[in-house]
Amino acid sequence: MKRTIKLFFFSEAAIFALWFYSYTFFINFQIAFLASVLILLGSTYSYKRLVERRVDSEDRPDDTDLIDKIDDPFDLYSEEITSTSMDVEEVDLKTVVKEEKQRLKENKQTIKNTAKSAPALVSIFRVVPYLFLVLGFIGLNNNGLLSLVPFLVGLGFGVVVGLFMGRALFIKE
């Protein structure tokens, strides 16, 4: 925690030194830096809470591996031998295709997954920093202070600092 606070204050001191170079450079860099750090911290915290809630809940996903689903979507290389795979009888191709389409439709859980992850997507910890970014950009533009180079450099610098801060604060190793 101490390292995180030191990192943030060191970054802010370095950014404050930009004021002596140019006020426009400083204000663009500062707004972009704060917005990107807050976005990363809010996103990390929101997803941490989402993962903790899913781990604590009784709702567990099935044990099928996502890579196996991608590599072998029709389970052709499965180690288990089923009685249907041993039958050599003729099967109507249209019915097999219809059955497979129906099975694939049943396996789609995008709406369910979206509903479960929606709290993390619309969390106040993510919405407010994005609002700060958009309003800061509009404010700089309306006042004639917007300069894209320091703004984009500030976003990049904020991503790096936010990554280290979020990792130190929210991710247990």
pLDDT per position as a tens digit, 109-133: 666 666 666 666 677 888 899 999 9
pLDDT of residue 36: 95
Residue-wise pLDDT for 42-75, tens only, equals: 988 888 888 888 778 766 555 556 666 666 666 6
Domain segments of the chain: what residues? 2-170
Please give, one letter per residue, the 3-state secondary structure of the chain: CHHHHHHHHHHHHHHHHHHHCCHHHHHHHHHHHHHHHHHHHHHHHHHHHHHHHHHHCCCCCCCCCHHHHHHCCCCCCCCCCCHHHHCCCCCCHHHHHHHHHHHHHHHCCHHHHHHHHHHHHCCHHHHHHHHHHHHHHHHHHHCCCCCHHHHHHHHHHHHHHHHHHHHHHHCCC
